[in-house]
Amino acid sequence: MRLLDFSARLIEPEAIKAAGYGGVIGYFSESRPGANFGAKPLTRDYCDKLRSAGLEIVSNYQYGKGDTSDWKGGYAAGVRHAEIALRLHREAGGPEGRPIYAPVDSNPSLLEWNAQIAPFLRGWASVLGLDLTGVYCNSRCIDWALEDGVATWFWQHNWSGDPSINGDHPAAHLHQIEIDKRRIGGVAVDVNTALKPDYGQWAAASTESIGVPMKPEFDELDQTGISPNCHPRDGVQPKWFLLHTQEGNGSAQSLAGYLQNPSSGVSYHYTVDNDGVVVDVVDTDLASWSVLDANPRAINLCFAGSRAAWGPTQWVENMGRAIDIAAYLAVQDCRKYGIPPRVINADQLGRGESGIADHWAVTAGLGIGSHTDVGDGFPWERFAAAVDKYANTTLKEAVMSLADDELGKEFPSRSKYRADDEPVDTLAGYILNIDARIHEDYVEREARKGVEWAISLVRREADRGDDGAQATLTQIEGAK
């Protein structure tokens, strides 16, 4: 398996496949000042296209270079850069349990290794865990990393100053064998060889689900019951999960504090910010004060610190993490209230269809109010992809569904006295009937032996008109 890494511009997945490559080692880092890399970071849309084309993805990170190399900042830099890498990996749809390769794109001395690089990797591991800490480095550094126990995954490069040690290192998962010698789709590329069956590719993620990532990380604060700005739904079932903007600079907590003030006259069920804080302001079984007459039918979430005038770039930069969290919350409530976990537009909402929309859909679809949030610049494709991500069926749910289907099917009896093969009961019914017959035979057998508790039970059923119990009671009394 050969994979490309590149940063100048995005390459169409079909061009990568046509050139005979099996995947991409992608950058999940921002462009450094003065640079303008079109493939840093890889986005969710592009990663989805790669996977749809059957191409593998591996996550790596590099922000600085040369005198500004990331590792020069030691432990603190390792923490800071790993947090960014993990966030961008997740925003792009990267699964949990996959390594991210940290950059050591040089030929460092042992002094630099001990003083800066090993601490950098320890900081990286403090965020991702040692089991998911990868490093892009030369063969000599792989040896040092193994000796110090600071990394588990290795992407080897040949910047060593010694060609004799540039062969495949036995611990390496990937080996960069060529740099900037060819172009694919007009973009200069580096070529890499996968050396092990699992080299960190997304497709090898081991989870208990079918395409379902873990819950996103966020701190949820339950402050329901504080705000008086709510009322009962009066038996009306929610139909819509709606998104809103704050039109201000608040955090999830400061906005929640405002909503808890009786004089504000407004509330939402959730406030969420890009720091990963969610405040539960109003219980979703109650109606929040968010969309006037549509309140009884809606669950409402507000992005704290957001504005409807933002363009797509501002939304992603300022609310990328919050958008993913909002999608997760939306799917959970859709499941709870039987709402289809899908994005709908104003026309669909106006026709009474259920789903996930925004305040503008209520304004345009139902003619209620005048709000236009979340605005034309909201990245709906990104949000919808996140909804799909969290709405997929888990393996456990799929198996249980199949089991329920089988247990619910009716089957014919195999009794020799049956007149036809028409279905008469389900598997579950047969099992319960077997249990019933065994227990009834046991009670009646004990009653014939003269056991008082068993006779009492038989007499009870005989008094209720059961023919079998009456026959058994007649046998008992006739034997006296």
101-154 per-position pLDDT tens digit:
999 999 999 999 999 999 999 999 999 999 999 999 999 999 999 999 999 999
pLDDT tens, residue by residue, 291-341: 999 999 999 999 999 999 999 989 988 999 999 999 999 999 998 998 999
pLDDT tens, residue by residue, 15-53: 999 999 999 999 999 988 777 789 999 999 999 999 989
The token pair at 361 is 């859909």
pLDDT tens, residue by residue, 343-397: 999 999 999 999 999 999 999 999 999 999 999 999 998 899 888 878 864 444 4
CATH of 2-204, one of 3.20.20.80, 3.40.50.880, 1.20.140.150, 3.40.50.2300: 3.20.20.80
> How many Cβ atoms from other residues are within 10 Å of residue 411's Cβ?
13
The token pair at 209 is 């689900």
The verdict on domain 219-394 having CATH code 3.40.50.620 is no
pLDDT tens, residue by residue, 178-211: 999 999 999 999 999 999 999 999 998 864 433 4
> How many Cβ atoms from other residues are within 10 Å of residue 219's Cβ?
11
Comparing 2-204 with 219-394, is the CATH topology the same? no
**What's the rounded Cα separation, in Å, for the pair 118 and 149?**
9
Q: Where are the domains of the chain?
A: 2-204, 219-394, 410-478
- Please give the residue that has the higher pLDDT: either 287 or 34: 287
How much of the chain, in percent, has pLDDT values that exceed 90? 75
**What's the rounded Cα separation, in Å, for the pair 228 and 84?**
39
Against a cut of 0.85, is the pTM above it? no
